[in-house]
Amino acid sequence: MPLHREFGPYSRPQLHPGLLPDPRSQKHPVPGQDPSFQQLQPVKTQQEAGGRVTYRSDGVIGKGSFGVVYKARESSTGWVVAIKAVRQRPGAPSTEEAVLRILRGCCPSIVTLLNSFTSGTGDGHMLCMIMEYVQDTLSRIIKHHRQRAESMQLHYVRVYMYQILRALANLDRHQIVHRDLKPANLLVDPASHGLKVCDFGTAKCADDAMDNAVYACSRYYRAPELILSTPQYGATVDLWAAGCILAEMLLGQPLFPGRDGVHQLSQIIEILGMPTVAEFHAMNPLYDAAACCKVMIEAVPWEKVFPRRDASEAFDLLGQLLTYSPRQRRHPWTCMTGGFFAALFSAEQMQRHDVALFELTEDELSSVSDQAVRERLVGFFSSAAFVKLSACKKA
């Protein structure tokens, strides 16, 4: 379906047309030109069961202030992995490694840490985390559709969004806040359309109030309470980011493309309207909202923001996630029971994917405190279409 070029009375999306270069894209260094590339060519690590394993780098697939991510192969088997190498003081603990070990095996929608090792000494000391390799990212998929002036099929919006919410539900189950949820940190297998949340470099424990850095999350996906420098926040900042990602999949470009914090907040207000005094207080009790609330700005209806006809099916979910008051944002389990996802469990749609992408474990279901929500989730997996497909996959 082509992207609409006419937006009617509300024309803000034309300020960042889809065919402009993606501001989040960057050129990765060429292996032969990257001085840090040789660090993993080859490297060795100790297997948990004993013996030595050698990995040989196939090139750099990501680079930033955090360090370098390599695509590598286990020399004896050719097994492809991703190795994230980050600088670390010798003996200092790694929050990212600790978080990944806690989350290992809890959910297929979270990237798996396979092993880790250290290399180098002094200033060159590196922590290398070996993780499963996934070929693509949601950011590149969105960019591909934008460059072709095509809308992403609503079915795949559902598939990816369901897995994002599943991952967030499991993060909440383990009391972890990601704090940098964005399309570039969502890995996608182009064959199965399985999605995995990655990059836990800025993650924190939900109850750690001492680690509430306000400059968290990439700007386009930063919750308004972070922009207002709230002294306390939790997992709801990830829910806001998830709403921004849903909007970006529907629109083909970021919904709130702010240049800085002030402009970012103005972009949000332009669409959601001016927050009330109560909403300002919910975002940051210390913020003086009296002056701001004198200016009345009405919210723009979702149908004017998203001109594609089938986007209306996602409006309820957008409203549950993109709301000013953090406590009003719905829990991921509740969002997953909404009508937007009901179509995933039809016989026609289920046969397009592996049931493992959607089938919740007993541990996941037991963590759902709301009885009505749990029954609704169980009802999805008790549908005739799901039971039939599960039987066929196991046969």
| Per-residue pLDDT, 282 | 94
Position 280 pLDDT exceeds 80: yes
Could you tell me which residues come within 8 angstroms of residue 145 by beta carbon, excluding any fewer than 6 positions away? 151, 152, 252
107-127 pLDDT, tens digit each: 999 999 999 988 877 767 889
51 conformational bin, left if phi > 0, alpha if psi -120 to 50, beta if neither: left
What's the CA gap between 96 and 331, in Å, rounded?
24
Q: What is the CA radius of gyration of the chain?
A: 22
What's the mean per-residue pLDDT of the chain?
82
CATH of 31-132, one of 3.30.200.20, 3.40.50.12240, 3.40.50.300, 3.90.480.20: 3.30.200.20
Residue with tokens 């909007």, as numbered in its chain? 247
Mean pLDDT for the stretch of residues 57-70:
86
Spatial distance between the Cα atoms of 150 and 207, rounded to a whole number of angstroms: 42
Asked if pLDDT for residue 7 goes beyond 90, the answer is: no
The domain locations on the chain are: 31-132, 136-342
Question: Maximum distance among all alpha carbons in the chain?
Answer: 69
Cα(155)–Cα(41) distance, integer angstroms = 41
Say which DSSP state 208 is in: -
Dist CA 64 CA 356 (whole Å): 32
What is the distance between the alpha carbons of residues 112 and 197, in angstroms, rounded to a whole number?
A: 10
**Whose CA is closest to 314, among 381, 220, 244, 217?**
244
Catalytically active residues are 180
Look up the CATH architecture of domain 136-342. Answer: Orthogonal Bundle (1.10)
Question: What tens digit of pLDDT does each residue of 344-355 get?
Answer: 877 677 677 777
Both structure tokens of 48: 């948990």
Q: Residues 186, 198: contact at Cβ < 8 Å? A: yes
- Cα gap 60→62, rounded to integer Å: 6
Higher pLDDT, 10 or 370: 370
Q: Is the pLDDT of residue 63 over 70?
A: yes
What is the predicted pLDDT for the residue at 384? Answer: 60
More confident residue, 100 or 51: 100
Q: What angle do CA 85, 91, 92 make, to 5 degrees?
A: 70
Encode burial over 246-280: b for 16+ CB neighbours within 10 A, e otherwise: bbbbbbbbbbbbbeebeebbebbbebbebbeeebb
Instruction: Count the neighbouring beta carbons within 10 Å of the beta carbon of residue 29.
Output: 15
221 has a pLDDT exceeding 90: yes
| Cα–Cα distance for residue pair 249/392, rounded to 1 Å | 31
Task: Say whether pLDDT at 40 is over 60.
Answer: no
Of residues 341, 260, 254, 261, the one with CA closest to residue 305: 254
Asked if the model's pLDDT at residue 311 lies above 80, the reply is yes
**Picking from 36-40, 67-71, 105-109, 387-391, which range would have the lowest pLDDT averaged per residue?**
36-40
- Which pLDDT score is estimated for 352? 75
Q: How many CB atoms lie within 10 A of CB 178?
A: 27
Residue with tokens 């032969």: 32
Candidates 81, 79, 83, 76; CA nearest to 37 is 83
More confident residue, 389 or 185: 185
